[in-house]
A and B are shown apart, each in its own frame.
Chain A
Amino acid sequence: MSVLFYLGAALIVIGALCDLFGALGLLRFPNFYVRLHAATVGIIGGAAVPLFGVALLALGADFLPNRYAIAGASFVTGVTVLLASPAGSHALAYAAHKAKLVQRPEIDHLAEVRDDD
């Protein structure tokens, strides 16, 4: 069962690196719509992937009490993050465009579409 442990450990390391890069991008990118890309890296790569990694690692770890409960709960939390975060980010981007919060985005296809009809 230690194959599952090593697979989960690799997913946790990948998730930690994606989380660091997402945080750096969220701090350094210039615009809200560009920062949304870094937030996607930080959420999907930095939260959903380590949760699946914890699920696999807890299945493979034999030193852990209640390991099936930890694995199942973290798997369900990973699926919830995977479903909820794109919907939330999409709603936030739509609201930012609708309320005209971001100053002068360079290319605005949505406004051109709205002007047509």
Chain B
Amino acid sequence: MSLESQFFLLMKFVIPIYLLAFILYAVRAFKGPTIVDIVLAVDCLSFDVAAFMAILAVYFKSVYLVSGAMILALWGYLLDIYIAKHLVSREVGA
């Protein structure tokens, strides 16, 4: 059994677990009571989509998916900082 077929066998177990976790995060993001719950769920969702895209880059043998993963990770951090800044001081500017 070669390494490639072992990798595809691993992906048959890993990809459904990730999709189930995405669904659970999306449920919390849609029904979150306060705005910080929604932001936290979207934050977890973006970081996990970044990790999932790095896995899919190995699955589809493509380099370009990993650059999108970097952008997603930085976008989640930016969302946190801007929402927190707006909640603390009621403005987003300096």
Interface residues of chain A, those whose CB is within 8 Å of chain B, are 2, 5, 9, 12-13, 15-17, 19-20, 22-24, 26-27, 32, 35-36, 39, 42-43, 46-48, 50-51, 54, 57-58, 60-66, 69-70, 73-74, 76-77, 80-81, 84-85, 87-89, 91-92, 94-96, 98-99, 101-102
Q: In whole angstroms, what is the CA distance A98 to B85 when docked?
A: 11
Q: In whole angstroms, what is the CA distance A88 to B44 when docked?
A: 11
Interface of B, helix, strand, loop or mixed by DSSP: helix
**Tier of interface size on chain B:** 35 or more
Q: Shortest Cβ distance from B18 into chain A, in angstroms?
A: 6
Interface residues of chain B, those whose CB is within 8 Å of chain A, are 2-4, 6-7, 10, 13-14, 17-18, 20-22, 24-25, 27-28, 34-37, 39-41, 43-44, 47-48, 50-51, 54-55, 57-58, 61, 63, 66-67, 69-70, 73-74, 76-77, 79-81, 83-85, 87-88
Q: In whole angstroms, what is the CA distance A76 to B35 when docked?
A: 30
Closest 6 A-B residue pairs measured CB to CB? A88-B80, A23-B24, A84-B77, A95-B84, A95-B87, A91-B84
Which single member of B3, B34, B44 contacts A101 (CB below 8 Å)?
Answer: B34
21 pairs across A/B with beta carbons < 8 Å?
Answer: A9-B7, A12-B10, A16-B13, A20-B20, A20-B21, A47-B48, A48-B51, A61-B3, A63-B2, A69-B63, A70-B58, A70-B63, A77-B54, A80-B70, A81-B73, A84-B74, A92-B36, A92-B80, A92-B83, A98-B87, A102-B36
